[in-house]
Chain A
């Protein structure tokens, strides 16, 4: 099986370790990963701030770039939600017939990482080892737009050594919201404070998610407040192979946590 990785603009720039973890993980599972260096952004930031024309030009670029790929895997639930929920409207309003057809053909082949693992590869146990106490933050887009459901839990449950603690008020937004976090920084911070209280309650060492954008917000606050807790993208947990793993490509524990 082949998979084209769309790493997303902010992961490429800020969280390359998430991308490396996805590659490690997928290759360990026998997937042939490719990556187009021409990729940039899905257009979510522009679309969510009201810049529809700009969002459309990025959407067009993405659809044309991936039209010949077997499957596009994206380790960011909000970017997948952008493609599923907002592209149709953008192409309807600003695109032409040909572009709409191209998009319709691509859409079912665009998958979020946990969707790809569970639905396409039909795997729950990815051979990971992560001996830490972990809680899971269900980002709003993963929860309500992608309906990821129990996929993340099925994956985490099979990680050796992992002590999972559920998070209360799971359906409550952490307050990131893209440019909302700076346009309404104070409300965003108030929402974050409430979310951090719930996370602290779990006593976890790590808060994981399938979207680094929420984690950038929560992790930035954890660092600021010396909370003694870190955020980590789920791909990095799943890539961390433990004793008995066969692949020599797997990341070391230190790398995964970094």
Chain B
């Protein structure tokens, strides 16, 4: 890095006017399942946004290629997957025991463990700790769990300034954006957009879009935060029951700064994040790094246990969050959702996500895992369009390092949605519901099915052009013909051909 590149940074004091109200972008996505639009509507602006689609597809292809290379070099990858999935299942099937063990060991090492039943509990616990600490500002390591409970706006409203320290999170915070991916939250933003955000919010009008210059600007911005703010919030990749340790993995080292410099550290973790033994990390860290970022090992693996006098934070809190998780645990098919280690391999492999990016999922958890996790966290009261946001191609299951059969869970959730919706009178005449009920009747008797085929040929005949193809259909059919033709129904069905052939043979 040259001094010339750094020059503009040092000339301008970093004074990000974050607390100043600025107009949020009009198209800021809503990542709250209780308020977000249904998936099929939410995707429309995205599908017509060339820059967003290009950014997403490019980023996904780069990560996917790295992952594929690193998984292929592992000759025991399938065994590792089985081991990882086994470890997660063991933790989940004795979740109460392992969580209590974690609490006991963490407390013995000087930490304080809090139990939060839902998002509101967790937010209140964290704000209370911050008030006790008389903290007016807090720095954060990237944590999707805090986004799940919408912590930042709550703390800001409670008078605490929140500063993200993960590079992607800084980009989103300064740019008033929302995460679109759980590992690479600013994946939808490209370099020139980052430059624009930094230049505007950090007052660096001469900033170039060279990655070195951008990182230098972020570093300058961050160093002061690290030195000035003595309170930090993190998530957790794993909790180790055996030792009471918390594990955070990251690529930048900014997390490590948050874990070492502050006086007080608050870690929030979903209750499913526990693993039984310290040695389980041997498997989990291998599959996580390769699946998430296509690296053999994460550059920074931080593991800490309670408080160490004279070293690192001297006050340490862990907030264990349920927020619907124990309900998921009760479902036989659904339970596997909680094996998730948030590596995002499923979204990187997903052909739907590759087209839409994350915002259309209306949740901090997008992609295939989001499609099953979000509606369940909402206890099936919101986000019912998400289980249908998949073509069931199975790519997610194939790459999942803890073998979550996402298509299987999607189907289970779809059947729950149908179970809920079909009793509503409004749905009775919904073309999809009506069609599927009629189809079921027709499939129950061959003669009915054959009669329907004949009627269908007459009906569709009205829409069939002289070239033998249907170019436009009404109702649900219009959804098909908006981009595809349909060949008109042939004169003779297969079974009619077979019957004629049999007759001839006799």
Contact residues of A with B, CB < 8 Å? 7, 9, 11-20, 23, 35, 37-41, 43, 45-52, 54, 57-58, 61, 86, 89, 140-141, 144-145, 171-173, 175-192, 194, 216-217, 219-221, 223-224
Contacts and interface: CB of A to CB of B under 8 A. Distances in A.
A224 B436 contact: no
Contacts, number: 194
A145 B391 CA distance: 14
B446 A187 contact: no
A50 B496 CA distance: 31
Interface stretch (B15-23, B111-119, B243-251, B392-400): B392-400
B390 A40 contact: no
A192 B440 contact: no
Contacts of A140: 391-395
B415 A52 contact: yes
B304 interface: no
A221 B483 contact: yes
Given A61-B444, A187-B43, A173 B469 contact: no
A20 B496 CA distance: 11
B291 interface: no
Given A50-B418, A57-B444, A186-B40, A175 B485 contact: no
Nearest to A189: B483
Contacts of B476: 182
Contacts of B486: 216, 220
Interface of B: 39-40, 43-44, 47, 53, 351-352, 354-356, 387-395, 397-398, 408, 411, 413-419, 432, 436-437, 439-440, 442-446, 449, 453, 456, 469, 471, 476, 479-480, 482-487, 489-490, 492-499
Contacts of A188: 391
A241 B377 CA distance: 57
Contact of A7 (B398, B490, B494): B494
Contacts of B443: 9, 40-41, 43, 58, 61
Contacts of A39: 446, 495
Nearest to A175: B391
Contact of B393 (A61, A144, A187, A219): A144
Nearest to A47: B411
Contact of B355 (A177, A183, A194, A219): A194
B392 A224 contact: no
Contacts of A57: 440, 444
Contacts of B432: 49, 179, 182-183
Contacts of A181: 479-480
Nearest to B499: A37
Nearest to A180: B391
B494 A220 contact: no
A12 B487 CA distance: 14
B352 A187 contact: yes
Contacts of A185: 40, 479-480, 482-483
A45 B40 contact: no
B470 to A, nearest CB: 9
A54 to B, nearest CB: 4
B475 to A, nearest CB: 10
B43 A172 contact: no
Nearest to A140: B393
Contacts of B496: 16
A46 B436 contact: yes
A191 B351 contact: yes
- 3 closest Cβ pairs, A-B complex: A177-B391, A50-B414, A220-B484
Contacts of A179: 388, 432
Given A11-B494, A38-B446, A173-B351, 9 more contacts: A14-B489, A15-B490, A20-B494, A40-B442, A50-B413, A140-B392, A172-B395, A182-B479, A182-B480
Contacts of B416: 50
B392 A177 contact: yes
B47 A16 contact: no
Contacts of A219: 487
Nearest to B419: A50
Contacts of A173: 351, 391, 393, 395
B483 A224 contact: yes
A184 B39 CA distance: 8
Given A13-B493, A20-B494, A140-B394, A49 B440 contact: no
A24 to B, nearest CB: 11
